[in-house]
Amino acid sequence: MGSIHIDLSGMSHPIDVDGSKNVVKEVDFMPKPKTPMHLTFNEVCCYVPAHFEVPGMMSKLNKLKKAFGRGKDEVIKGADKKERQILHNITGVVNPGEVVAIMGPSGSGKTTFISLLAGRNKARHTGSILYNDQHKPTDKAFKRQLGYVTQEDALYEGLTVFETLYYTAVLRLPRAMTEAEKRERVYIILEVLGISKVKGSIIGGFRVGRRGISGGEKKRVAIGQELLYNPSVILLDEPTSGLDSTTALNLIGTLETLAQVGNRTIVTTIHQPSSRIYQMLDKLLLMGQGHLLFYGDASAATDYFAEIGYAMPYGMNPADYFLDVASGWSGDGSKKAKDRTSVVQNTDPELKALLRAIERGRGLESKGGTDTALVPLAIDKKGGGGLGEEYKKELGATFATQVRVIAIRSLKDRRFEKFSVDTVFTMMFVAVLCGMLWWQSGLSKNTGTTEGAMDVSGVLFFMLTYLSFSLLFSSIFTFPNEKTMLMKERASGMYCVSAFFFGRTLADLPLDTCLPLLVSTGIYVMVGLKASVGAYVLSMCIVLLVCFTAASLGLFLGAWFLNLKRAQSAATVLMLTIMLTGGFFVRTTPAWMSWAKYLSYIMYGWSAMVKLHLRGALAKCGGENPSTEGICDYGALGVVKSDAYGGTEVSILLCMLIALRALVYIALRYRAHE
């Protein structure tokens, strides 16, 4: 077998890998991880609910009904019975320096198994998974030693490739490393993965409405994020899916190199490797319907299956053959397509036959009749022990850095959303429309009349309601959109929830301030509201308070539901209640609903604005002149008490804002831990 050259596009140290033995001739591009890890998994079984539970109220009510009808214990026992076993006693060992490829047909349990190895699967499972005989994958201190690349690429679509890797580096690499060292590491990763030529391109995607880098490049960025930290263990779920065969070959070659040079432990699922990729693999773990069919040297698999009666037809790609075998098709290559279909449709008996053959093979092996191995493979104890004190002291970014980086990253990620031409145009259009419809209504000569005062109170109410609506509904998207990223980054221990909360709050400030200020200033000038600096500044403060409160409500709903549709429905209900009970549309709310107006932050903001701009009109309403009380005909203004300058309303708004922000934090914490 000739030598394969792995093209790492411009890499300063090209790698030559011998195709048959994967011998790395020259590599020094990545620092070695501190602690080599051997992984042992023993009798791992996994169970999932057998029936899909329809979400929603009806299903919950039905469950409650059953619970009351049959007794709680009975229901729980019943639930246990309704489980389906999707992994069956998976056992094996992976030593440092090895790349293990998990293969199997679709639905055979590859993702379930690798996510269990990564400690990211909450499904009920038994058996043990240990790194260096002591660390569970879910251990907090160990998380940072483990790189896990999921099947779906969870990336911030608005960031460039370089920004994505750089911010991950700042958040994930030890705080002892300098800024220059972190940048250097990013450049190395860009080179290693052959994506340096797209470092300035955005990731792109549906959310930002722009096409960015290709699917294969996204995959490599996701892998790069995990390699940055230089972990001892790298787990990858289908890293080659969507890649052409040459790029896939390069990627597997890079993984082989990383394993051999850095003594890393690498486990990857792989869907349908080409024969060239197959020849590069060290170890193969073959699964079929959750059963372990083979675990051992990839080069020994063909002989092993031949010995148990599943000889590979001549000239076939071993990977294709093993997938056929694992799918339940065991006929030879000459069988007609018709026969194959009939066998595949009835996989269980075939799989049972294969499992029986494997058992017989084990019997032979124990008698020394065969040298091919199913499992377990020997543990190479050079893996070492625990993480060591040195590692434990190696902390990631400080809290302040976490907050700063999350804020900057978030600002950059949302640059396409908030300042898009569409958003600015819509807001400006509304401002100009308001200005034209209520042109100079705020001049004192106009507010002296009933109609004039009503006009101004109307435009103030509309302005606050419009800004509230747009901020509430845009904030709803924040957390549901970032859910996957938050879960992924939290799972690898990159930052704490409070840093995320403060970072996002900081990032919202400029974005949620600029546009409302611009719109309300436009309306202020065109409507001709009080021409004094004090009144203008106070008005803007009130507008911002209302906007921040609305945004907090949106963030809370988003964080609580983490589901856009439900959060939007809840927001619509709340917003309409807040608007209608605000006192502008309905002056006398029914007694049983009168409490609702106290929750209406729009009412407090509007009331404070009216007091600021229509004090004269309010006085005529009787607030300052008891003798005329009750004869006010200023419509909605009658509900505004002209007792002060709106201090009470502003204080209440402030309290609401703080309370809602606290609720956002609690919801986020609760969801993150969930």
CB of 347 or CB of 423, closer to ligand ATP: 347
86 binds ligand ATP (CB under 6 A): yes
3 state SS of 377: coil
Read off the tokens for 84: 């389906």
CA 619 – CA 626 distance, rounded (Å): 10
Burial class (CB in 10 A: 0-12, 13-18, 19+), 226: buried
Please give the residues from 369 up to 428 whose contact with ligand ATP meets the rule CB under 6 A: none
Read off the tokens for 446: 């106009």
106 binds ligand ATP (CB under 6 A): yes
3 state SS of 512: helix
CB 269 to ligand ATP: min, Å: 6
Q: Which helix (H) or strand (E) holds 653?
A: helix 647-673
CB of 63 or CB of 210, closer to ligand ATP: 63
Q: By CB under 6 A, which span of 104-112, 363-371, 565-573, 587-595 interacts with ligand ATP? A: 104-112
CA distances from 375 to 1, 93, 98, 350 (A): 28, 8, 16, 21
Count of Cβ atoms closer than 10 Å to residue 5 Cβ: 12
List residues bridging with 409 in a β-sheet: none
CA angle 580, 581, 582 (to 5 degrees): 90
CB 279 to ligand ATP: min, Å: 22
State the residue for tokens 């100009």. Answer: 432
CA 612 – CA 621 distance, rounded (Å): 15
Read off the tokens for 279: 């020849």
Please give the residues from 438 up to 497 whose contact with ligand ATP meets the rule CB under 6 A: none
φ/ψ of 361, rounded to 5, equals -60, -40
353 binds ligand ATP (CB under 6 A): no
Please give the residues from 249 up to 278 whose contact with ligand ATP meets the rule CB under 6 A: 271
Please answer whether residues 93 and 376 qualify as being in contact, where contact means their C-beta atoms are separated by less than 8 angstroms.
yes
Q: By CB under 6 A, which span of 101-109, 218-226, 375-383, 534-542 interacts with ligand ATP? A: 101-109
Tell which residue, 577, 571, 539, has the closest CA to residue 558: 571
Tell which residue, 651, 654, 626, has the closest CA to residue 641: 626
Q: By CB under 6 A, which span of 109-117, 341-349, 575-583, 637-645 interacts with ligand ATP? A: 109-117
State the residue for tokens 């992994």. Answer: 87
Which residue stretches of 105-244 are H helix? 110-117, 140-143, 161-172, 179-192, 215-228
CA 556 – CA 666 distance, rounded (Å): 9
Give the N- to C-terminal CA distance of the chain in Å, as an integer.
Answer: 51
Q: By CB under 6 A, which span of 108-116, 326-334, 430-438, 653-661 interacts with ligand ATP? A: 108-116
* Residues 8-47, mask of contacts with ligand ATP (x by CB under 6 A): ----------------------------------------
CB of 121 or CB of 230, closer to ligand ATP: 121
CB 289 to ligand ATP: min, Å: 8
Binds ligand ATP (CB under 6 A): choice among 36, 109, 396, 522: 109
CB 182 to ligand ATP: min, Å: 34
CB 287 to ligand ATP: min, Å: 7
Q: By CB under 6 A, which span of 105-113, 442-450, 616-624, 638-646 interacts with ligand ATP? A: 105-113
CB of 422 or CB of 674, closer to ligand ATP: 674
CA 226 – CA 192 distance, rounded (Å): 13
DSSP state at residue 210 = B
48 binds ligand ATP (CB under 6 A): yes
CB 272 to ligand ATP: min, Å: 10
Burial class (CB in 10 A: 0-12, 13-18, 19+), 345: exposed
CB of 123 or CB of 373, closer to ligand ATP: 123
CB 107 to ligand ATP: min, Å: 4
Binding residues for ligand ATP, total number by CB under 6 A: 12
CB 328 to ligand ATP: min, Å: 14
Residue 279, C-beta contacts closer than 8 angstroms, at least 6 positions apart: 1, 19, 20, 298
CB 479 to ligand ATP: min, Å: 23
* Residues 110-149, mask of contacts with ligand ATP (x by CB under 6 A): xxx----------x--------------------------
CB of 102 or CB of 189, closer to ligand ATP: 102
CB of 150 or CB of 250, closer to ligand ATP: 150
150 binds ligand ATP (CB under 6 A): no
104 binds ligand ATP (CB under 6 A): yes
Binds ligand ATP (CB under 6 A): choice among 45, 47, 75, 107: 107
CB of 103 or CB of 280, closer to ligand ATP: 103
Q: By CB under 6 A, which span of 106-114, 226-234, 427-435, 636-644 interacts with ligand ATP? A: 106-114
CB 110 to ligand ATP: min, Å: 4
CA 238 – CA 483 distance, rounded (Å): 22
CB of 109 or CB of 480, closer to ligand ATP: 109
CA distances from 137 to 129, 141, 234 (A): 7, 10, 12
Please give the residues from 645 up to 664 whose contact with ligand ATP meets the rule CB under 6 A: none
CB of 86 or CB of 494, closer to ligand ATP: 86
CB of 115 or CB of 145, closer to ligand ATP: 115
User: What totals of helices (H) and strands (E) does the chain contain, helices first?
Assistant: 26, 11
CA 269 – CA 393 distance, rounded (Å): 33
- Dihedral, CA of residue 601, residue 607, residue 612 and residue 615, to nearest 10: 180
Q: By CB under 6 A, which span of 100-108, 278-286, 388-396, 517-525 interacts with ligand ATP? A: 100-108
CA 585 – CA 606 distance, rounded (Å): 12
CB of 106 or CB of 245, closer to ligand ATP: 106
Residues in touch with ligand ATP (CB under 6 A): 48, 86, 104, 106-112, 123, 271
